[in-house]
Structure 1
Amino acid sequence: MTDTQISSFLSDCVVFDDDTEEGLDFDTLYGLYISWCVLGRKVPIPDSAFRTALELEGLRARKDHGQRVYPGLNMVGAAARDYVMNSVPVWTETDNRVPVVTQLSEDSVPSLR
């Protein structure tokens, strides 16, 4: 089998755990893929093509509360760190009543090493 961009992404960024029903939803998995592409200076494919490529790799999603979830998948590696750091909001208070979302930067959090 030839090594495709998606198979490389999966081997770099995803670990499989058959013993769990938890997993990654499609939006998280695609966001992780986008982070992997940015870090590797690769051109990402559209989300519809990504979904098809996952199926060709043998991954099947199940519906969970209206979301496609890929059971047993967990994210790892540099792309996972990048995805989490750039997608999780930090809440701060400006007037003791209204929270404001700010973007995380690598300089604003301790090293993950």
Structure 2
Amino acid sequence: MANSQFDQFLQEATTRDPASDRSLGRNRLYGLYTSWCFLRQAAPGPEDDFWAAMKENQINPNRAGLRMKGPAAADYILASYPGLV
């Protein structure tokens, strides 16, 4: 069975860290997703579908333990803080 775009995003751009006391929050998680789509040259799915997929995967952006990883994380950070470049 093929993974959905949202499942691939979670596998490639996030990692769970149960020891972390920080959360990504809604804006950062969705921003990471759009960076991931940009790097893959893919159109982001509708935001409502994104949040439904996150709920299905038991991802709560306000709960601690989800972290960014990979090229999408770097792209998101650089796009969010242009003074770093």
**Deviation string, structure 1 residues 43-64 (Cα, Å, up to 9, x no partner):** 1012222111100112234xxx
CA distance in 2 between counterparts of 1:3 and 1:16 reads: 19
Higher gyration radius (CA):
1
State the aligned residue count.
85
Task: Name the aligned partner's letter for residue 5 of structure 1.
Answer: Q
Residues 40-86 of structure 1, C-alpha deviations (whole Å, 9 max, x = no match): 0111012222111100112234xxxxxxx142011011011011111
Q: Percent identity?
A: 36
What pairs with 1:31-42 in structure 2 (closer than 5 Å)? 31-42=31-42
Give me the TM-score of the superposition, normalised by structure 2. Answer: 0.87
The alignment status of 1:22 with 2:22, answered yes or no, reads yes
> What SS does the aligned partner of 2:24 have?
strand
Structure 1 residue runs without a partner (length 5+):
62-68, 91-103
Q: Distance in 1 between matches of 2:27 and 2:48?
A: 11
Q: Structure 1: which amino acid aligns with 2:5?
A: Q
For 1:6, the equivalent position in structure 2 comes to 6
Task: Indicate the structure whose relative CO is greater, using CA pairs within 8 Å and at least 6 residues apart.
Answer: 2
Aligned counterparts of 2:4 and 2:35: Cα–Cα separation in 1: 17
TM-score by length of 1: 0.67
Judge conservation of contact 1:26–1:70 (CA < 8 Å) in 2. no
Structure 2: segments with no counterpart, 5+ residues: none
Instruction: Choose between structure 1 and 2: higher helix proportion.
Output: 2
What is the CA RMSD across the aligned residues, in angstroms? 1.7
**Does residue 79 of the first structure (1) align with residue 72 of the second (2)?**
yes
